Chain A
Amino acid sequence: MTTEMSGADILIQALNDQGVEVVFGYPGGAVLPIYDALFNQQRIKHILVRQEGGAAHAAEGYARSTGKPGVVLVTSGPGATNAITGIADAMMDSIPMVVITGQVGTPLIGSDAFQECDTVGITRHVTKHNYLVKDPAKLGDIIHEAFHIATSGRPGPVVIDLPKDVQVATAPYRRTNVNALPHRGYKPQVKGDLAQIEEAVELLANAERPMIYTGGGIINSGPGASLILRELVRLTGAPVTSTLMGLGALPASSPHWLGMLGMHGTYEANMAMNKCDVMLCLGARFDDRVTGRLDAFSPESKKIHIDIDRASINKTVRVDLPIIGDVGRVMEDMVKLWKAKELRPRDLKPWWATIKTWQERNCLAYPEKLDSGEIVPQLAIRKLWEATHRQQPIITTEVGQHQMWAAQHFDFESPNKWLTSGGLGTMGYGLPAAIGAQLGNPKALVIDIAGEASIQMNIQEMGTATQYRLPVKIFILNNEYMGMVRQWQDLTYGSRYSESYSDSLPDFVKLAEAYGWKGIRIETPDQLEQGIADMLAHDGPVMVDCMVAKMANCFPMIPSGAAHTDMILDPAQVSGVMDDEAKALV
C-alpha cells in the first residue's frame, strides 16, 4: 500500500525522482505549500531570483550549458506572467524546461480571484505542452510526463499549473514508468528512415559543391552529435556553416569551418550556401535571419533536411529530401552507411578554391585603432577571447550588436559553451542565463557579453549572483546606444535616431559595488588587456564597463529581404534609406 502524500510533497518527490538538483524560483501566496515542502528537505537547491523572468532565463542557461532540463517555480498571476518571456524564449530556442506555476484553489478558478490569471491559456502557444492539475492523484504522472515531453523530441518548455488546494490535498504517489504516461499519442520519431538516409549519403558523395548547414538541433541532440558531426565532415570533406544557435558544434579551428551564416554571417558562408549543389541541413530551421530573400536562397542546390520536428520541414524552404529523426542518430547512420558503402567524396578542390577566394575578402576584418581613440568593439571581443579561450569559458549574451560581434569574433571549440537568445532575441537574457550556467558548471568561467541597454533589463539578478557567491562576469560593450536599433536607423531611416540613445545610464562601477561586486571601467584601448586581466583575477562576480566606439556598426550584413549575394561588407556601402517593401520586413 502506498501512503498518501500532499500535492506539494508529491511534487518534491517527483522532482527528486527526476534527479532535479536546482530549482529557480520566487515565492508567493499560491505556492506557499510548495515552499514549505522545500523547507523540509535538503536535496533540491532552490535559487531565489530577483524577478521571475530571471528564473526562467536562468533555467534556460542551466539547461543549455548542462543538457539537463531547467526547472522553475513561481507563484500565480504576476509570478506566472513575469516568467512568460523566458518561457517563450525557451520555446523558440528549443530549451528543455519545466515550469511549475501556482494557481488559486480550484473552487476559485474563473472567479477573477486575487492573483488569478489563466496561466494555461496565456502560455498555450509559448509552451510545448501545458497542464492544469485538478487532481493530486494525477500529479505524479503529469510531472513525469512533463519532463519526458520537455526533454524528448524537439525539446521545449512545459508548464504545470498547480492550484493551491491541489498542493495541500493528499493522494498516493508512485514513480511512473515513462511508457505508461497519459498521452499515448506523443511519440517523437528518433530514428530516421534508412532508405532516405542512404539517398542522402549518395547525394553527398556525388556532390561537386556540398555544404553542411548546422543548427541548435545538434547541440540539443547531446555532445555525441557534435562528435559524429566531426566524423561526417571528415568523411565528406564538406565545408560547414552554422546558425547562431549551433555555434560550437564544429570547432571554430576546423579547416572546414566557414563561420556563421545569415544576416550577420560571413561572406564565405553565405556565398557557399548560395552556390552549393547539395545542402545538408542538420537540425536547423531555415529561419528568415538565415535565408535572406527566400526566392534567391541557394537556388542551385538539392536540399537535404534532417530534423526531429516534422513541422520544421518545408515550413519556409522546400527541400528535396526531408529526413525526420534525431540529428545525432541520423548522422550516425549516415557515417555507418558511408563507410559500409566505401564512398569517397568527389574531387572538391575546385569548390574549396572558390571558397578560398571568398575567404580572402576577409569579411570580418576590423581596424585595430580609430582616429577618435575609441575602443573598437570587435577588438574588445577578440582580446577577451585571447585572454580566456584556454579555459573554455561559457559565454552568454544579451541582444544587439555586441551579440553579433561575439558570435563573429569569439571562437567556440565545443558545444554548450555559447548561450544566446536566438529565436526570440530577448534583451535581458544574458545575466540570468549566466547565473544558471554558473550553477550548472560551478568551476567554469562564465561571462555575459552585454550591451549597456540590454543589461538593464534584468540587472536586478546581480543580487542573485551575490547571494549564491556566483563568480559570473559581465562584460558590457558600452556604446551608449541601443546599437542595433541605431544601426537599422542608419540603414533604413536616414540616421534619424528615434529613441535609441541610452540616456541617463547608471555608473556601472558604482552599481557593481552597491551589489557587492567588483566594478571595472575600461575607457581606452591601452586599458583593455589589463582590465580583462583584472576581471579574471578577481575571485567573485565582476562587472566591466568597457566604453567602445559609439557609432560602430556590425558588418557584414544582409539587409532583411535581400539575397545572400547582396551582402553589405563595409559601412561605405550603406545607402541610408529603404523603400516600403524593405521597411515592412523585420
Chain B
Amino acid sequence: MHIKQQETERHTLSVTVDNEAGVLARIAGMFTARGYNIDSLTVADVTEDDSISRITIVTTGTPAVIEQVVAQLDRLVNVHRVIDLTERGNFVERELALVKVAGTGEHRIEALRLAEVYRARVVDATTGSFVFEVTGASEKIDKFIELMSEIGLIEVARTGVAAIVRGKEAV
C-alpha cells in the first residue's frame, strides 16, 4: 500500500491575535496537531498599547485544507481575525534576508555586481566576505540566494514574510 499525495497551493494568511503569553504556541501547535504546513511565520505587536499582534503565516495545502486552516485559526479564543490574503488578492508581500558570502578576486566583484542588480545592501564587509541585506518577494530572495551559492554562499538568515493589502483601506 502507498499513501497518496494531493495538489497543493501556497497561501498567505494575516492573523490578528491578542498579544499574550502562549498565543504563538497555540497557533504553531494547531498547525502541527492537525498536520498543516507552516512555510513561514512572522509575528510582532502592532498596536500602541501592545495589546494586539499581527501574525503572517505562509502555508501550503489543498484548497480544502487551506479552508480548514482558516476556520481552525478563527476558532482559537485569542484570535480576532483571519484573512486569507491569497484568496482576497491584491496585496504586497515582503521578506528580508541577510546573506553571507565569502570569496576573493573575481568572485567578490561578481557578488557586488549581482547585489546591485538585486538592490541588496552591504551591511558588513571583511576582506574575504560580505553580508548583504536584501528585501523583496520570497521568490526574488530565493533567486538571489541561488546566485550567491555559485559564488560562495556561507549562510542565510530570513525573516519570513510580512504582507499587507494594497490601497487605502485597512482590512
Co-assembled chains A and B: yes
A residues touching B (Cβ–Cβ < 8 Å)? 120-121, 124-125, 128-129, 132, 149, 182-186, 309-311, 313-315, 318, 580-581, 584
B residues touching A (Cβ–Cβ < 8 Å)? 1, 17-18, 21-22, 25-26, 29-30, 33, 64, 67-68, 71-72, 74-75, 77-81
How far in angstroms is the closest Cβ of chain B from A325?
Answer: 15
How many A-B contacts if CB must be within 8 Å?
A: 45
Q: How far is the CA of A347 from the CA of B125 in the complex (A)?
A: 84
Please, could you name 30 A-B residue pairs with CB atoms under 8 Å apart, sorted by A?
A: A124-B25, A124-B26, A125-B29, A132-B21, A132-B22, A149-B77, A182-B18, A183-B18, A183-B78, A184-B80, A185-B18, A185-B77, A185-B79, A185-B80, A185-B81, A186-B77, A309-B75, A310-B75, A311-B68, A311-B72, A311-B74, A311-B75, A314-B64, A314-B67, A314-B68, A315-B68, A315-B71, A318-B64, A580-B1, A584-B1
Q: How far is the CA of A217 from the CA of B80 in the complex (A)?
A: 24
How far in angstroms is the closest Cβ of chain B from A193?
Answer: 16
| A184 cross-chain contacts in B, Cβ below 8 A | 80
Asked if residues B71 and A311 are in contact (CB atoms below 8 Å), the reply is: yes
Q: How far is the CA of A310 from the CA of B72 in the complex (A)?
A: 8
| A580 cross-chain contacts in B, Cβ below 8 A | 1
CB closest chain-A residue, reference B32: A125
B25, B74, B75, B78 interface centre (most CB from chain A within 10 Å): B75
How far in angstroms is the closest Cβ of chain B from A96?
Answer: 14
Asked if residues B74 and A310 are in contact (CB atoms below 8 Å), the reply is: yes
CB closest chain-B residue, reference A134: B21
How far in angstroms is the closest Cβ of chain B from A186?
Answer: 5
Q: How far is the CA of A417 from the CA of B30 in the complex (A)?
A: 34
Q: How far is the CA of A573 from the CA of B128 in the complex (A)?
A: 77
Given contacts A121-B25, A124-B29, A580-B1, contact A310 B71 (CB under 8 A): yes
How far in angstroms is the closest Cβ of chain B from A160?
Answer: 13
- A-B pairs with the 8 shortest C-beta distances? A185-B80, A311-B71, A580-B1, A129-B77, A125-B33, A310-B71, A186-B77, A311-B75
| B26 cross-chain contacts in A, Cβ below 8 A | 124
CB closest chain-B residue, reference A149: B77
How far in angstroms is the closest Cβ of chain B from A141?
Answer: 13
CB closest chain-A residue, reference B67: A314
Q: How far is the CA of A519 from the CA of B41 in the complex (A)?
A: 60
Q: How far is the CA of A318 from the CA of B81 in the complex (A)?
A: 23
How far in angstroms is the closest Cβ of chain A from B76?
Answer: 8
CB closest chain-B residue, reference A130: B22
Q: How far is the CA of A303 from the CA of B147 in the complex (A)?
A: 52
Q: How far is the CA of A121 from the CA of B28 in the complex (A)?
A: 12
CB closest chain-A residue, reference B20: A182
| B18 cross-chain contacts in A, Cβ below 8 A | 182-183, 185
Q: How far is the CA of A310 from the CA of B29 in the complex (A)?
A: 20
CB closest chain-B residue, reference A582: B1
| B33 cross-chain contacts in A, Cβ below 8 A | 125
List 19 additional contacts besides A311-B71, A314-B68, A580-B1; criterion CB under 8 Å: A121-B25, A124-B29, A125-B30, A125-B33, A128-B77, A129-B77, A132-B22, A182-B18, A183-B77, A183-B78, A185-B17, A185-B80, A310-B74, A311-B74, A313-B71, A314-B64, A315-B71, A318-B64, A581-B1
| B21 cross-chain contacts in A, Cβ below 8 A | 132
| B22 cross-chain contacts in A, Cβ below 8 A | 120, 132
How far in angstroms is the closest Cβ of chain B from A508?
Answer: 39
How far in angstroms is the closest Cβ of chain A from B13?
Answer: 15
How far in angstroms is the closest Cβ of chain A from B66?
Answer: 11
| B74 cross-chain contacts in A, Cβ below 8 A | 310-311
Q: How far is the CA of A121 from the CA of B25 in the complex (A)?
A: 8
| A132 cross-chain contacts in B, Cβ below 8 A | 21-22
